[in-house]
Homo-oligomer: A and B are copies of this chain.
Amino acid sequence: MSNPAGVSTKFDLSAYLHQRQEWVENALTAAVPVHYPERIYEAMRYSLLGSGKRLRPIFCLASCELAGGTVAMALPTACALEMVHTMSLIHDDLPAMDNDDYRRGRLTNHKIYGEAIAILSGDGLLAYAFEWLVRQTQGVKPEALLEVVARLGHAVAATGLVGGQVVDLESEGKPDVTVETLHFIHTHKTGALLEISVVSGAILAGGTQELIQALTHYARNVGLAFQIVDDILDITGTAAELGKTAGKDLQAQKVTYPSLWGIEESRRQANQLIQTAQDVLAPWGERAIPLQALAEFVVARSH
């Protein structure tokens, strides 16, 4: 079994993250150049570049390496994941949805470019994500690439983040939302994309079914922990720390894990989920260290 405490001292997560954030940033910058009509490319770049932790791309790169693949092999898919994630943020922030003025510490896309361009930026990023990963990926079996395309579609469609956002919107202002509904929202709205982020890297590298199952388990635990921590931060964080308006969930009367369990129990649950996620990857020994450290990083934000 892995020893997360030991891991942290040997493995330089900060350097690891920094390196990969730079690779992803450079790849994304190259992926979306500015052409005519400039406004739409600028709008996509505004939301896509220059901010964000790039967690989904990094999960993808890490799982590809764990499965014996290379960073280069997974980089186009990693970028596609960030494009899709950015689409979901742009659309979620729209006045008709969550009506958010700030995101990652900056004005939201529609506040700068208007609603029409914001909607189209999202559409453009979503469609382009599929083109980009198919055109740019090299050294991967076509069947594996098709599997990634299908899973990415599934993670975004009504079976994934779209479905999660629908239930989230329907639950707003309802104080009697059950924990099952809350769970549905999070496993779909954020969990589904996180899962394909983690699993896609291993699929590209031709990982075994056993590894893909373990990574699925890992991703589900990390995804839920991630959401719990997000909910905690919404209560305990400041706008400056969050880069978005704090207390939005409370204002919107959203049911959250801390509102159901309290902050302390929520933290305990998040830690437990992360521990399980790390244990699941223990059979892969040293190669699992980056993903184990990443899991810890996700909850560390809440302390």
Contacts and interface: CB of A to CB of B under 8 A. Distances in A.
A135 B153 CA distance: 10
A127 interface: yes
A87 B96 CA distance: 17
Contacts of A142: 142-143, 145-146
A157 to B, nearest CB: 4
Given A40-B162, A119-B96, A149 B124 contact: no
Interface string A76-91: 0000000000010001
Nearest to A127: B156
A37 interface: yes
The interface residues of chain A, by DSSP majority, are classed as helix
A120 B135 CA distance: 27
A250 interface: no
Interface in A129-155: 129-132, 134-135, 142-143, 145-146, 149-155
A207 interface: no
Interface string A165-199: 11101100000000000000000000000000000
